Amino acid sequence: MTFLTSLRPAWPRWSGPLLVLALLSASASLSVAQTGLPPVGAGVSGLPSLGDGAGMTVAEERRLGDRIARDIYRDPDYLDDPVLVDYLQSVWQPLLAAARTRGDVAPELSERLAWELMISRDKRVNAFALPGGYLGVNLGLLAVTERPEELASVLAHELSHVSQRHIARMIATQDRLAPWMLGAMILGALAARSNVDVANAAIAGSQAVAAQSQLNFSRDMEREADRVGFGMLTGAGFDGRGFVSMFDKLQQAGRLNDDGSFPYLRSHPLTGERIADMRARLPLVGAAPVHGPLRQGAAGGAGQLGPSTQLHVLMAARARVLAENSPDRWRDWQQNGSSAAASPGDRYAAAYASLRLGQRAQALALAQRLRGEVELSQRTAVDQLQLEILLSPGAPLTAAELTLRAQLGDKAWAGGSRAGMLLGAQAALASDQPQRASARLLDWVVQHPRDALAWQTLARAQQVQGQTLRAVRAEAESRVAQRDYAGALDRFKAAQALPAVLRAADPIELAIVDSRRREVEVLLREAESEK
Whether the per-residue pLDDT at 65 is higher than 60: the answer is yes
pLDDT at position 202, please? 43
Residue range 66-93: mean pLDDT, rounded: 93
Between the alpha carbon of residue 180 and those of residues 68, 211, 230, 421, the distances in Å are 24, 11, 40, 52
Stretch among 75-79, 199-203, 295-299 having the lowest mean pLDDT: 295-299
Comparing C-alpha atoms, which of 400, 397, 371 is closest to residue 384? 371
- pLDDT value of residue 29: 33
Integer Cα distance of 121 and 319 in angstroms: 8
Distance of CA 280 to the CA centre of its chain: 31
pLDDT in tens, 350-376: 999 999 999 999 999 999 999 999 999
pLDDT given for residue 253 in this prediction:
64
pLDDT at 37: 35
The mean pLDDT of 36-62, rounded to a whole number, is 52
Query: Is the pLDDT assigned to residue 201 strictly greater than 50?
Result: no
pLDDT (0 to 100) of residue 250: 76
- Which one, of 255, 257, 4, 265, lies nearest residue 126 by Cα? 4
User: Which has more confidence, 95 or 187?
Assistant: 95
Residue 384 pLDDT > 70: yes
pLDDT value at residue 5:
37
- Decide: 151 and 138 in contact? Cβ < 8 Å: no
- 166 or 509, higher pLDDT: 509
Comparing 242-246, 320-324, 524-528, the range with the smallest average pLDDT is 242-246
The domains of the chain are located at 15-285, 293-408, 450-531
Give the pLDDT band (50/70/90) at residue 343.
very high
Report the pLDDT averaged over residues 57-62: 88
**pLDDT over 80 at 329, yes or no:** yes
